[in-house]
Amino acid sequence: MLPRNPYWLARSLAHGAAVAAGYAALGLSLLITFEVIARKLFNFSLQGVDEIGGYVLAIGVSFSFAYALLHRAHTRVDVLMARLPAVLQAPLNAAAMLMLAAFSLFMLWRAIETLHETLEFGSLASTPLQTPLWIPQSLWVIGLGVFALLTSLLALHALAQLVTGRVRALNRDYGPRSAQDELDEAQQDYGDSVSTTATPATQGDAT
């Protein structure tokens, strides 16, 4: 969606963070599976798995926001927009990016404030682990910071495109995804696992 060069760093960082979130989810699944089996069969509990699960979600998601943004995955409604002429779509696309940037900055600001209070009161999680909350919250704030930084950069980029009248580039880079885009991506993603062997036709012939 973007000119490669200025954003390759952001892209690869976001990509890396998303993969890391995946490993965290996988690790969490193994941990939970162990916990459920141990609890059921040996009456023994690890304690605090649910707490860790919450942190995995909070931190993983805050870092994944940026990755989703780079793939234009954040939901928008394109019913009306798709019917407008390109000249009208452009300012709407720029406005959407600016408002998203404002929202992400507001999230970051309030999250920093929450972290600030945690540090001030030295809050601990009210759980068996008694985790000092600043540890997961700091990572969470950093993730939101990356998201805010990226949305701001992209919003400025969109604004620049609007001001200089590069309407088509703006709509290409920041337009909402259509059902066709979703489908293309799904086919690209899952195409390998379909395609090869038995279609129902060959199945029927073989038997």
Partner 1 sequence: MIGAFEVLIGFVIMLGMMAAGIHVAVAIFSVAALGTLMYLGTPLLYSFGDTLWGTLNDFILTAIPLFILLGELLLRSGITERMYSALSVWLNRMPGGLLHTNIGASSVFAAMSGSSVATAATIGTVALPAFAERGYSERLALGTLAAGATLGILIPPSINMIIYGAITNTSIGKLFIAGILPGLALAGAFMLAIIAFSLLRPEVAGEREPRVPLRARLASLVDLLPPAFVFAIVIGSIYSGWATPTEAAALGVVAALLLAAINRKLTLTMLHECFLSMARTTAMIMLIIVAAFFLNYIVGILGIPHTLTQWVADLGLSPLGLILALVIFYLVLGCFLETLSMMIATVPIVVPMVVQFGFDPVWFGIFLVIMMEISLITPPIGMNLYVVQGVRGRGSISDVMIGSLPFLAIMLAFVALIIIWPGLVLWLPEAMG
- Scan residues 164-203 and list those touching partner 1 (CB under 8 A): 176, 178-180, 182-184, 186-187, 189-201, 203
Segment near partner 1 (CB under 8 A); pick from 2-10, 12-20, 159-167: 12-20
Instruction: Please identify, using beta-carbon distances, which residue of 49 and 169 lies nearer to partner 1.
Output: 49
Contact 121, 134 (CB under 8 A): no
- The correct pick among 2, 28, 119, 142 for binding partner 1 (CB under 8 A) is 28
Contacting partner 1 within 108-147 (CB under 8 A): 109-114, 136-137, 140
Can you tell me the distance from the alpha carbon of 95 to that of 196, in angstroms, rounded to the nearest whole number?
A: 45
**30 makes contact with partner 1 (CB under 8 A):** yes
Smallest gap, in angstroms, from Cβ of residue 87 to partner 1? 14
**36 makes contact with partner 1 (CB under 8 A):** yes
Please give the backbone phi and psi of residue 203, each rounded to the nearest 5 degrees, phi first. -60, -50
Q: How far is CA 81 from the centre of its chain?
A: 24
- Specify the length of the chain in residues: 207
Smallest gap, in angstroms, from Cβ of residue 197 to partner 1? 6
**148 makes contact with partner 1 (CB under 8 A):** no
Which residues, in sequence order, are CB contacts of 130 under 8 Å at separation 6+? 124
Smallest gap, in angstroms, from Cβ of residue 165 to partner 1? 19
Which residues, in sequence order, are CB contacts of 155 under 8 Å at separation 6+? 94, 97, 98, 100, 101
Contacting partner 1 within 56-115 (CB under 8 A): 56-58, 60-62, 64-65, 67-68, 71, 73-81, 89, 92-93, 95-96, 99-100, 103, 106-107, 109-114
- The correct pick among 6, 8, 19, 86 for binding partner 1 (CB under 8 A) is 19
Provide the β-strand partners of residue 124: 132
- Amino acid making up residue 39: R
**204 makes contact with partner 1 (CB under 8 A):** yes
Smallest gap, in angstroms, from Cβ of residue 30 to partner 1? 6
As a dihedral over the C-alpha atoms of residue 15, residue 16, residue 22, residue 26, rounded to 10 degrees, the angle is 160
Please give the backbone phi and psi of residue 174, each rounded to the nearest 5 degrees, phi first. -125, 10
